[in-house]
């Protein structure tokens, strides 16, 4: 049964906050109702936050203590897992928000428990995906922890039908919150990328170009020259960029910078939400797009046709599971384990060129597990496959083909 504000009176709750209008409103409403609110925010390497500690300062007037939990390394590791699985959702969305919720809930729950919180509070809308992700990850990682979703609470929805009412409520308590002009869209950001949606983007007659990129530029604004770089992979993980050893966090930060300035990773998606509705999003994920594309070139060299088919099926399953908030489910972990069978052979150095939103393949070297053989594939005379040997295979194939034709099935 859904919790209400009245149910929380006298309890200690852990509120996941961003420092925005919603976060401050919820924190103040609960505090006024006799609830002890402890606020938490995850540092996921958000590129739209100049100083992550600004969240603490924005929450302070609400009378709550806010803890910033550094999860950048965990977020980078999660990015690597998505890249290894090539786990892209509808329309080319790199699951940046979906995988971030995995990291956020797993990272904040222990901190909430340390401070005796028995309820997790989140500010996700009752019409979107994140409400389900916060709920499910709390359920599977801390079954005894209850969840309160303010924007599914009928009383709060009636009290705060829009931003204007929230601003007025905070002003009544001496907390300034400027509404400003109507936003063109909303943004959620982390190390993996930015999700832009809602407001003007809800209309399919609105161009995606209304979005102002944060992690880079639109391809049309990128430099008019090819930028070359190399990425060294070891067992499906990027370990060097341009010859320099990198940690997962350094790899993501470097890839975001290089790909971003070349207009890489700007995508439009009209995706299928968990709850059954459609959602329109414009996504930035320059580093994810760059590293995943480079790894794909290695996979192409190391997987046979049937391995590639199975990998594609596993990849889609993992992508769907991340999107649905089911990353820790047995099916996801089994798929990831199977993907590991393929990625353990994915070692080599990929050289690419970046140009106005495009990634060009230049070279693959040092890939010992490659099953590509130039001599076998050559159209010219070589010491590879003897073309005469293909005659027998062609004759075997013809038996079935002729039988189908004679049976009238073609």
- At residue 200 the predicted structure's pLDDT band, cuts being 50, 70 and 90, is very high
**C-beta of residue 353 within 8 angstroms of C-beta of residue 362:** yes
| Angle of CA points 80, 81, 83, to nearest 5° | 60
List, for residues 309-322, the tens digit of each pLDDT value: 999 999 999 999 99
Residue 117, burial from CB neighbour count under 10 angstroms (0-12, 13-18, 19+): buried
Mean pLDDT of 168-180: 83
Three-state DSSP state, 234: strand
Would you say 325 and 129 are in contact if contact means Cβ atoms under 8 Å apart? yes
Question: Is residue 197 within 8 Å of residue 276, measured between CB atoms?
Answer: no
Q: Tell me whether residue 194 is exposed, middle or buried, using C-beta atoms within 10 angstroms of its C-beta: 0 to 12, 13 to 18, 19 or more.
A: buried
- What single string gives the DSSP state of each residue in 56-121? HHHHGGGT-EEEEEE-HHHHHHHHHHHHHHT--BGGGB--HHHHHHHHHHHHHHHHHHHTT--EEE
Q: Provide mean pLDDT across the span 201-214.
A: 96
CA 184 to chain centre: 22
How many Å apart are CA 233 and CA 79, to the nearest integer? 15
* CA dihedral for 151, 157, 163, 167, sign (positive or negative): negative
pLDDT in tens, 361-408: 999 999 999 999 987 777 777 777 788 888 999 999 999 999 999 999
Which pLDDT value is given to residue 383? 79
Secondary-structure percent of the chain, ordered helix, strand, coil, rounded to 5: 45, 20, 35
Q: Specify the pLDDT at position 375.
A: 76
Token pair recorded at residue 375: 């001599």
179: pLDDT strictly greater than 80: no
* Strand residues in 312-391 grouped as ranges (E): 348-355, 358-365
Task: For helices 72-85 and 305-323, give the axis angle rounded to 10 degrees.
Answer: 140
pLDDT at 181: 58
CA distances from 319 to 85, 99, 304, 324 (A): 8, 10, 22, 9
pLDDT for position 248: 98
Please check whether residue 264 is in contact with residue 255, taking contact to mean a CB–CB distance below 8 angstroms.
no
Which has the higher per-residue pLDDT, 385 or 207? 207
What gap in Å lies between CA 209 and CA 5, rounded to an integer?
Answer: 41
Q: Report the mean per-residue pLDDT for the chain.
A: 95
Q: Report pLDDT digits (tens) over 87-116.
A: 999 988 999 999 999 999 999 999 999 999
Cα dihedral value 163, 169, 175, 179, nearest 10? 20
pTM over 0.85: yes
Q: Is 180's pLDDT higher than 60?
A: no
Q: Quick check: 289 and 61 in contact, CB under 8 A? A: no
Closest of 356, 254, 284, 287 to residue 48, by C-alpha: 284
Tokens of 13: 């709750």
How far apart CA 14 and CA 248 sit, in angstroms, is: 29
The closest alpha carbon to 104, from 188, 149, 42, belongs to 42
Given a cut of 70, whether residue 136 has pLDDT beyond it is yes
Per-residue confidence band for 177, with pLDDT thresholds at 50, 70 and 90:
confident
Alpha carbon distances (Å) from 344 to 235, 317, 347: 4, 20, 8
Percentage of the chain beyond pLDDT 90 is 88
d(CA 17, CA 142): 19
pLDDT(1) > 80? no
Which of 258, 264, 240 has the alpha carbon at shortest distance from 349? 240
Active site amino acids: 22, 101, 130, 186
As a whole number, mean pLDDT of residues 61-75 equals 97
Per-residue pLDDT at 178: 63
- Closest listed residue to residue 94, CA positions, set 361, 286, 299: 286
Instruction: Tell me the mean pLDDT in the region 321-335.
Output: 98
Residues 254-282: what's their mean pLDDT?
Answer: 95
Region 174-193: mean pLDDT is 82
**Which residue carries 């073609």 as its tokens?**
410
Please say whether the beta carbons of 128 and 278 come within 8 A: no
Q: For the segment 20-50, what is each residue's pLDDT rounded down to a tens digit?
A: 999 999 999 999 999 999 999 999 999 988 8
Helix (H) or strand (E) holding 169: helix 163-172
Q: Which pLDDT value is given to residue 284?
A: 97
Tokens for 290, please give them.
Answer: 């760059």
**Tokens representing residue 370 in the block:** 């490659």
Q: Please say whether the beta carbons of 131 and 125 come within 8 A.
A: yes
Q: What's the average model confidence in pLDDT over 128-139?
A: 96
């Amino acid at each position: 049964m859904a919790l209400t504000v009245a149910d929380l009176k006298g309890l200690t709750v852990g509120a996941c906050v961003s420092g925005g209008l919603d976060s401050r409103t919820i924190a103040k409403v609960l505090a006024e109702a006799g609830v002890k609110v402890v606020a938490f925010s995850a540092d996921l390497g958000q590129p739209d936050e100049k100083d992550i500690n600004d969240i603490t300062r924005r929450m302070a007037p609400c009378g709550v203590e806010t803890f910033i939990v550094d999860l950048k390394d965990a977020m980078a590791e999660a990015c690597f897992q998505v890249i290894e699985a090539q786990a892209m959702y509808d329309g080319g969305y790199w699951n940046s928000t979906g995988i971030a919720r995995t990291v956020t809930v797993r990272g904040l729950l222990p901190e909430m428990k340390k401070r005796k919180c028995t309820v997790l509070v989140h500010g996700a809308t009752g019409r979107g995906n994140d409400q389900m992700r916060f709920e499910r990850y709390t359920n599977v990682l801390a079954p005894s922890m209850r969840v309160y979703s303010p924007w599914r609470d009928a009383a709060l929805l009636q009290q705060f039908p829009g931003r204007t009412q929230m601003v007025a409520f905070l002003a009544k308590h001496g907390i300034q919150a400027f509404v400003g002009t109507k936003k063109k869209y909303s943004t959620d950001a982390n190390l993996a990328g930015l999700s832009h949606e809602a407001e003007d983007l809800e209309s399919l007659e609105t161009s995606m170009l209304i979005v102002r990129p944060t992690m880079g530029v639109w391809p049309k604004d990128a430099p008019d020259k090819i930028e070359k770089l190399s990425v060294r992979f070891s067992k499906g993980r990027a370990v060097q960029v341009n010859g320099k050893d990198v940690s997962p966090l350094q790899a993501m930060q470097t890839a975001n910078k290089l790909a971003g300035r070349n207009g890489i990773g700007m995508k439009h998606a009209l995706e299928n939400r968990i709850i059954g509705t459609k959602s329109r999003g414009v996504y930035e994920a320059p580093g994810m797009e760059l590293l995943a594309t480079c790894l794909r070139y290695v996979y192409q060299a190391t997987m046979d046709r049937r391995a590639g088919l199975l990998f594609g099926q596993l990849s889609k399953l993992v992508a769907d599971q991340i999107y649905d908030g089911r990353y820790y489910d047995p099916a996801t972990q089994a798929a990831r384990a199977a993907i590991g069978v393929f990625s353990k052979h994915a070692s080599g150095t990929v050289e690419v060129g970046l140009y106005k939103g495009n990634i060009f393949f230049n070279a693959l070297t040092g890939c010992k597990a490659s099953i590509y053989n130039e001599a076998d594939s050559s159209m010219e005379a070589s010491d590879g496959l003897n073309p005469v040997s293909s005659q027998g295979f062609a004759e075997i194939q013809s038996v079935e083909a002729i039988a189908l034709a004679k049976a009238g099935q073609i």
